[in-house]
Structure 1
């Protein structure tokens, strides 16, 4: 916000001091403001296989809460066995972002809101065709457990040794797009093997 304010003040100053015609100075000021706004937007974190911004796969609960706050909805039940696996949204995390904690560490970041995009520029609501176009042959497609085609899971692994239909390598990192029966992405998961879970912690 500070950068945007400074850029806006600079644009006003240029308009007042410039010897150019008023219309040209106005155009210059508008361009400066648009550039500042674009720069601020570009700095928004993106969901990657390693996490979301400062939220990194492998962080402990203490590290997460120190950076992003406590559970925004502590009354919600995050899993059948919270000691081994639970899910929650930190108070200072974006709406629609959900973290999975297994054995005390972050293993998955999930997005259920179109306000966050992946490093491929995709968001909840994107079409399966857009996901396939973004990743090409790197995609592993599998049928959706609960809905008919075109519902499916589109998974892209970026690290580790993802061999076989179910990846168990703890070092593997990837992104999974859950496509609903309408052919659009409903949920996006990023992280380790837990991105393959189809129902919460299972």
Structure 2
């Protein structure tokens, strides 16, 4: 599932629907034939497909808390079944960043307004779809947005190149997904494993 564009509002982002995979088949599976996108040398504060700062995809919940602190708002509802899927901002993480914990493991990290973080390609909230497509070229897959009209869309690039199947299931796969609005502007970025394909967040 992908987080909806409305998640740019921090007040509502923690109240989203349960995790479900995208039905549209324009994204791929674990196999990939293309050359992976070239990456610059990211700083410690850069978002990559592997995570952000001290947070690495695949960490346990205990490791996430040790690295970035506990839930900054423990009274908020991050998911109807938090033992299965939960989202929250760790106390030491910047505003506009959420971690997704599925069955006790960090599977993705999301940023939205007011985050000023950037990916290893230099993109952040406010970047344009045109810029992202130009940078990733054929390595990226593009899917129409599930809730917002064109040109809103999802642009996803996986380490290892463009996958050949409609849905990535390999838990070891890593990628970056950019969600854009009706103006072609990025409102949400997700990095991590197959959960970056989710259309909605855990709430």
Task: Sort the TM-score into its range (normalised by shorter chain).
Answer: 0.7 to 0.9
Alignment of 1:1-202 (within 5 A): 43-113=43-113, 114-159=115-160, 162-201=163-202
Change over 3 Å in CA distance of 1:81–1:159 after alignment to 2: farther
C-alpha deviations, 1:117-160, integer Å up to 9, x for none? 00000001101001111111111001100001000000000049
**Bigger Cα Rg:** 1
Distance 2:76 2:161 in 1: 33
- Give yes or no for contact 2:139–2:161 (8 Å, CA) kept in 1: no
TM-score (norm 1): 0.76
Q: What do residues 32-86 of structure 1 show as CA deviations (whole Å, max 9, x unaligned)?
A: xxxxxxxxxx845100000002100000111111121110011111112111100
Question: How many residues get paired?
Answer: 161
What is the alpha-carbon distance in structure 2 between the residues aligned to residue 161 and residue 134 of structure 1?
A: 14
Give the superposed CA RMSD: 1.7
TM-score, normalised to structure 2, is 0.75
Question: Which has the bigger relative contact order, CA under 8 A and spacing at least 6?
Answer: 2
Runs of 4+ with >2 A deviation: 159-163
8 Å Cα contact 1:161/1:172 also seen in 2: no
Structure 2 stretches lacking a partner, 5+ long: 1-41
Determine helix, strand or coil for the equivalent of 1:130.
helix
Which is richer in helix? 1
Q: Per-residue deviation at 1:163?
A: 3.6
Unmatched 5+ stretches in structure 1: 1-41
| Deviation at residue 161 of structure 1 after TM alignment | 8.8
SS where residue 125 of structure 1 aligns? Answer: coil
